[in-house]
Amino acid sequence: MMSDGQKIMRAAGFLMAANLMSRLLGFVRESLMAGLFGKTAATDAYNTAFILPDLVYWLLVGGILSAAFIPVLSSFIAEKREDEGWIVVSSIVNMSFILLCLLVIAAIFAVPAFVAWQAPGFTPENQALTVTLCRILLLQPVLLAFSGIAMGILNSYKIFWPSAVGAVLYNACIIVCGGLFADSSRPESISGFAFGVVFGALVNFLVQAPFLRRVGLTYHPVIDWRHPGVRRILALALPIIIMYAMNQLQVVVNTNLASSLPPGSVSAVWYSYRLFQLPVGIFALAIGVAVLPTLSEQAALRRRADFVATLSEAIRTIAFITIPISVFFIILRFPLIRLLFEHGEFGAADTEATAAPLYFFALGITAQAVLQILPRGFYAMQNTWLPVLVGTAAMAATVALMFLLVGPLAHGGLAFATSLGIILQDLLLFFILRQKTGGLDGWRILGTLVKTLAVSAVMGAAVWRWSSIAIMWWGTGKLGSCAILASSGLIGLLVFLIFAELLRMSELRSALQLVGRRG
C-alpha cells in the first residue's frame, strides 16, 4: 500500500506531464502571437484586456475554489457525508452562476471607464481595441467557473487527469482560433486569440463534465444559505476574495506604470512573466494541486505529524527542482527568448527588452514555486485569514517597490519588485505556519536550500562556461539558440545530478519519483 507521500508524488507526476504539455502549447500560443504582432501596442491591448475578466472571476469563484471548496468537500468525503456534500456543492454552483452573470453584465458596461483608468498611457485607438478585447474575454469567467468547480470536485476525489487534459485543450483552442483569424496587417484581428480563450474555457469544462457523474455528483436546484458547509465555504472564501481584489491594485499599478514606458513594455513584462511561470506551472502547481486534498484530509483527521511531513517534503522537493532552473534562466535568458519569441514581428530589440524583466523574475522562481504550497497549508486547516493578511502586506510592499524601482530599472524594476514581494510573503507565511503547527521541519528545509544552492552554483558555472564557448560556434540564430539550450541543459542536468548524488540529497529520490510516476 502506498504512503501519502507516494500517492502525492504519483498524482503530481501525472499533473507535471500534463502541465508540461499545456505550458508548451501556451508558449506555442505566445510565440505565434509574437510572430504575428510582435511586442507592440496590439499585444499590450490583448494582455491588458485580461485584467477585468480575471478580477470578475476571482471576485466570485477563484477564492472559493483555491481556498475553501476542496478542503470543505474533502472533509465531507473523509467523514462519509457525501450526500450532504452535494447539497453544499449545488448551493455554491447556483449562487456563483447567478452572481457571476450579473457581475459580467455590469462589467461589460464598465469596460471603457476601467480601461481608461487602467492604461492611461495607451493611445485612444489602442484603448478602443482593449475595450473590444475585454468585452469578448468577459464571456470567459462564467465558463471558467464551471470548469473550475468541476476540477475542484474531481480533485477532492483525488482525480486529477480530466482537468489536466482540459487545460491542454484550452491552449490548443486558443492556438487554432488565433492562427485562423489573426492577420499581422490588422491589429484588431488579434481578437481571434480572445475568441479562442472563450472557446477553450468551454472545451475545458466539457472534457471534465462526464466524470462528475462517475463520482456520484447529484445536482440540487437550491441555494441553502443556512447549511453549515455553505457558510463555511463562504467564510473561508471571503478573505481570499478580498485578497485577490486588493491584488488587482498591484496589477493596475504594474500596467499603469508600464503603459507610460515605451510601447511594448507591457508585453515585454508579460512575455517574461510567462517564462517565469513556466517551471512554477509545471512542477510547483502540480505538487500544490496534488498535495491539497491530502493535507485537508490529514488536518481533518488531526494527523499533525503527517501534515508537517507532507508540507516539508513538498517544499523541499520544489526547492530542489526550481533553484537550478532559476540559475539556468538567469544565465540563458537570451537564447531562451530568441528561441521562443524572436521571429516575424518580434526582433532582436524586443529580445533585449524582454530579457531585462526575465532576469529579475528568475530571481523569484523558487519563492513563487514555494508559494504554491505554503498557503495551501493554511487552507487545509481551513484558515484563510492569515495568508490573506500576509499577502496584503506583501502586496503593499510590492507596490511601494514598483514606484521605487521603475525609475532606475524601467520595466525590469516592476519584475524585481514582484520577486522581492513574493520572497517576503514566503518568509512571513513560513514563520507563521511554523508557529501554528508547532514546527515545520525548518532545519531540514534549510539544509536542502543550502545544499541545492551550492550544487546549483557549480552547475551554473559549468553552464555559463559552456554557453560562452557554444555561442561562438553556433551564433544567435534559431538553430544556434536551440543547440545552446539543449546542450547546456544536458550538461547542467548531469552536473547537478552528480553533485546532488555526492551530497546524498534525499530530495533527488523524490524528484526522480515525481518524474517517473505519471500514471
Which residues lie closer than 8 Å to 392 by C-beta, 6 or more apart? 243, 246
Q: Does residue 195 or residue 254 have the better pLDDT?
A: 195
pLDDT band at 1 (very low <50, low <70, confident <90, very high): very low
Q: CB of 212 within 8 A of CB of 153?
A: yes
* pLDDT band, residue 404 (cuts 50/70/90): very high
pLDDT grade for 513, boundaries at 50, 70 and 90: low
* Selection from 215, 219, 280, 239 nearest residue 86 by Cα: 219
pLDDT band at 450 (very low <50, low <70, confident <90, very high): very high
Supply the pLDDT for residue 86.
81
Residue range 358-369: mean pLDDT, rounded? 93
**Percent of the chain, pLDDT > 90?**
18
Q: What does DSSP assign to residue 186?
A: B
Using one digit for the tens of pLDDT, what is the confidence trace for 173-204?
888 888 888 776 777 788 888 888 899 889 98
| Rounded-to-integer distance, Cα 139 and Cα 195, Å | 9
Distance, in Å, from the CA atom of 31 to the CA atom of 37, rounded to the nearest integer, reads 10
With cell 551554473, the residue in question is: 460
Number of Cβ atoms within 10 Å of the Cβ of 211: 17
Q: What is the CA radius of gyration of the chain?
A: 22
- For residues 393 and 245, is the Cβ–Cβ distance under 8 A? no
Determine the average pLDDT of the residues in 55-70: 66
Nearest to residue 87, comparing CAs of 219, 207, 259?
219
pTM of the model: 0.70
pLDDT bucket at 518, cuts 50 / 70 / 90: very low
pLDDT reported for residue 163? 80
Domain ranges of the chain: 56-259
Cα–Cα distance, 6 to 256 (Å, whole number)? 45
Residue 499 pLDDT class (50, 70, 90 cuts):
very high
Cα–Cα distance between 93 and 262 in angstroms, integer? 44
Report the SS3 class of residue 260.
coil
C-alpha cell at 282: 509545471
The whole-chain average pLDDT of the chain stands at 82
Cα separations in angstroms, 329 against 19, 135, 325, 340, 441 = 19, 35, 6, 13, 29
- Residue 437 CA to chain centroid, in angstroms? 26
Q: What CA–CA distance (Å, rounded) separates 120 from 26?
A: 29
